Amino acid sequence: MPDKTSSNVALPAGEFVLKVGGAELKPEHAHSLTFADLKESLGTDDRYAINRLLKQATVFDPWLNPETNLEECVNSSLTILQGIRLGTQIEALVGIQMLAVHYTAMDYLERARRKDLGLEFREFYQNAANKLLRTFTMQVDCLNRHRGRMSQQVIVGNVNITDGSQAIVGSVSHPSPEKVSQNDHQKQVG
């Protein structure tokens, strides 16, 4: 059995089979599906999690049907997930939700453009796509908060300063614990 961390070995046959409709994708069909690529794309090295997450990431692709090239749909989903740079399983779950919401929203927007649908159906698809796109934005914010990329902002409306008090106007930041310990060490040495 190949080493599960090897960067040039596809998943062994029988451990990964993606079935959608009449189409089936196995490792021998997908030469580009190496374990390292899957691990990087999905933020985990667990084979069972990779199998489940990859199926979830692919089934929402609106272009996926028995006549489409399943490998192409899997690879496009993986490419998108690699762009999100998933580092943990939590990020993988949010990333796959983002992918599903994006795919569905784009499908609904495409349907809303169809002239052969009545106005009621077109409005339904527009409204549903709008809600999905807002959900997508919230998911991006959630992922950024999880990664610590968003700062909390506090807006103070009224401030009363009495005689003998002091106030700071502007942004206040605290150094990270690492910087505090380095500064303390430098003060003790110096």
User: Quick one: pLDDT at residue 131?
Assistant: 96
Is residue 133 assigned to a domain?
yes
Is residue 10 assigned to a domain?
no
Domain tally, the chain: 1
Three-state SS for the chain is CCCCCCCCCECCCCCCCEEECCEEECCCCCCCCEHHHHHHHHCCCCHHHHHHHHHHHHHCCCCCCCCCCHHHHHHHHHHHHHHHCCCCHHHHHHHHHHHHHHHHHHHHHHHHCCCCCCHHHHHHHHHHHHHHHHHHHHHHHHHHHHCCCCCCCCCCCCCCCCCCCCCCCCCCCCCCHHHHHHHHHHHHHC
105: pLDDT confidence band, cut at 50, 70 and 90? very high
Q: What is the pLDDT of residues 119-149, one digit of tens each?
A: 999 999 999 999 999 999 999 998 888 888 7
Is residue 98 assigned to a domain?
yes
Is residue 13 assigned to a domain?
no
Residues spanned by the domain of 30: 18-156
User: Quick one: pLDDT at residue 140?
Assistant: 92
Is residue 79 assigned to a domain?
yes
42: pLDDT confidence band, cut at 50, 70 and 90? confident
Is residue 86 assigned to a domain?
yes
Mean pLDDT of the chain: 74
* Greatest Cα pair distance in the chain: 79
Q: Greater confidence, 68 or 96? A: 96
User: Quick one: pLDDT at residue 8?
Assistant: 32
Could you give the percent of the chain with pLDDT greater than 70? 64
Q: What is the mean pLDDT of residues 13-32?
A: 53
Q: pTM of the predicted model, to two decimals?
A: 0.62
Is residue 164 assigned to a domain?
no
User: Quick one: pLDDT at residue 171?
Assistant: 67
